[in-house]
Amino acid sequence: MSDRIEILGISGWGHHGVLAEERREGQEFSVDVALGVDTRDAARTDDLALTVDYGEVAQRVHALIVGEAFDLIETLAERIADAVLAFDGLVSVEVAVHKPSAPIPVPFDDVIVRIRRERA
């Protein structure tokens, strides 16, 4: 599958992390998703029903960012992948969870967990 729809920088205030301060105070998270979908039928017919509504995908991802807190951003990435793959027509999803304010005691730009999952 070479067709992809990408949504970059879905952001929200989440409370994910293993430290008590992260859970209490929260921090900004950002998520990128790449949706593996065959867009040919939708392109030929100009019909949204034949592709994935990326607005709905973004809303579902945002709800997970700001919703239930997880210790690991690996868990957040997995939950996002599961939720996104529930959309009809998707073959695969790639998820990147960014945690630029992770409590690391040295200078750094970002922490990113990237996963790829395919429909079973």
Q: What is the pLDDT of residues 18-54, one digit of tens each?
A: 999 999 999 999 999 999 999 999 999 999 999 999 9
Mean pLDDT across the stretch 69-96?
Answer: 97
Residue 79 maps to a domain: yes
Task: Report the alpha-carbon distance of residue 73 to residue 111 in Å, rounded.
Answer: 10
Residue 110 maps to a domain: no
Q: What is the domain range of residue 29?
A: 4-102
Residue 115 maps to a domain: no
Mean pLDDT across the stretch 60-84?
Answer: 98
Residues sharing a CB contact under 8 Å with residue 41, sequence separation 6 or more, in sequence order: 47, 50, 51
The CATH number for 49's domain is 3.30.1130.10
Quote the number of domains for the chain. 1
Question: Which one from 99, 111, 112, 117 is the annotated catalytic residue?
Answer: 99
Whole-prediction pTM value? 0.95
Mean pLDDT across the stretch 88-116?
Answer: 97
Residue 112 maps to a domain: no
Across the chain, mean pLDDT equals 96
pLDDT of residue 1: 57
Residue 113 maps to a domain: no
Residue 54 maps to a domain: yes
Residue 111 maps to a domain: no
- H-only helix segments in 1-120: 20-25, 40-45, 54-66, 73-85
Active site residue 90: no
Residue 109 maps to a domain: no
